[in-house]
Amino acid sequence: MYEIHKFLSLIFRATFIPGCLIIPWAIGLISLRTAQLALLVFILVFVIAPIIFRYSISLQRGLLFLTFVTYPKNLDYQNPPAVGLYGTRNFYIKVKDEEEFQGKHDEEFNIGLWHVLPRSLAKRFSKELKIDEKFNEDLMNTNGTTDQEIEVPKDILQEFEGVEITKELEQQFYEKLLSVPNTVIVLYFHGNTASRGSGHRVDIYKVLRNLNYHVITFDYRSYGDSDKVPPSEDGLVNDGLTVFNYIRTLTDNPVIFWGHSLGTGVSSHLLANMERKNIKNGPKGLILEAPFTNIKDEIREHPFAKPFKNLPWFDLTIANPMHTNSLRFESDKYISQYRQPVYIMHAEDDYVIPFHLGYKLYRTALDTRNKTWGQTYFKRFDESFHYGHKFICRAPELPALITKFVDTYKNEEGY
């Protein structure tokens, strides 16, 4: 009985719009030419376009990763202070796709990164870094943020105190500060569109900086000023692994992964890969901001898909091809494959990735993760705050939530 009902529902949905055009023409409300034109538009938009999408992996990647959407305009990646990030190094590292996967790039290429210093270290070396006076208020902690000084080893003080940090010294200086004992590093995985310099991303770096964490943020292949290598799920995951390996060549200090939006899928996939490969000294925890369960679920809920999702051929032409072409981001599968603690946060008024997908991922974690592993947490932000998809960074309680999570797990062994 259910199958008959489903079949009839498909027939109705497939014929409803054409019927709405033919009936007015039949009773003389619109002309034949108008009906033909409207029917042609329907066929082009709702039949031809989905068929093209089904067979074009380039189009699928383009609409998923949205690398052509860039803002802010004319961003100078070499000048992070222009977006309020004093004490920040811009640099590049090489990526090599070692494993075979769909979208593998044969040659080495560069991706762009920023290393944002903890505010305490930026303050300690403000003269050496020649930090502009306009940042003095933030540096001197007059904004009410709790200030805990980071103790700098004597050898670093002897090497750099009173020495201007020129371009030639910059790499050595920042990499040595990254290894200062008892500091925490947050590796940030951004979502699709734009770059590491987008406003809401810069805002979260500032929150983390003021908590005295190092922030390493990077642009995946084809984003920002990284080399224009076609993106793929495995490719983005490999970019993240390369950045993590760079950190581990310099220090064993605790690392926390932070993923936002599409970055939640990248970071979850990476952690599962690291667990499968038995990579030691991994991150101590994972923070997922505005996550989804998997791309098939998300694409049905995305605002761009609303005109198409009730089409009988939606799964055949749009959802399933992305899965077939390894554009899956199956966080609901990966979350049961790594042992690190997970902190999920989601705003109720998120209309890009609906709240219920983040909560569904949380419930999946509770049901599937080993009970001896790190705990899974969930934080709901009420829709009355209007944080939407991008602005949980504005929540007054966010610094305390992050601090509690990081302090609980930063020294945990076994990850």
What 8-state DSSP symbol labels residue 151? P
Per annotation, catalytic residue among 120, 195, 226, 261: 261
Among 262, 202, 234, which residue's Cα sits nearest to residue 65? Answer: 262
> Does 261 qualify as catalytic in the annotation?
yes
Beta carbons of 193 and 158 less than 8 angstroms apart: no
Q: How many CB atoms lie within 10 A of CB 111?
A: 24
**CA Rg value for the chain:** 24
Beta carbons of 376 and 362 less than 8 angstroms apart: yes
As a whole number of angstroms, the distance between CA 155 and CA 153 comes to 6
Per annotation, catalytic residue among 214, 269, 346, 389: 389
72 cis-preceded (ω within 30 degrees of 0)? yes
Q: How many CB atoms lie within 10 A of CB 84?
A: 16
> Does 155 qualify as catalytic in the annotation?
no
Q: Put residue 362 in one of left, alpha, beta given phi > 0 → left and psi -120 to 50 → alpha.
A: alpha
Judged by DSSP in three states, 237 sits in helix
Amino acid residing at 177: L
As a whole number of angstroms, the distance between CA 392 and CA 242 comes to 28
> Does 226 qualify as catalytic in the annotation?
no
For residues 333, 336, 338, 339, the Cα torsion angle rounded to the nearest 10 degrees is 160
- Tell me the catalytic residues: 261, 350, 389
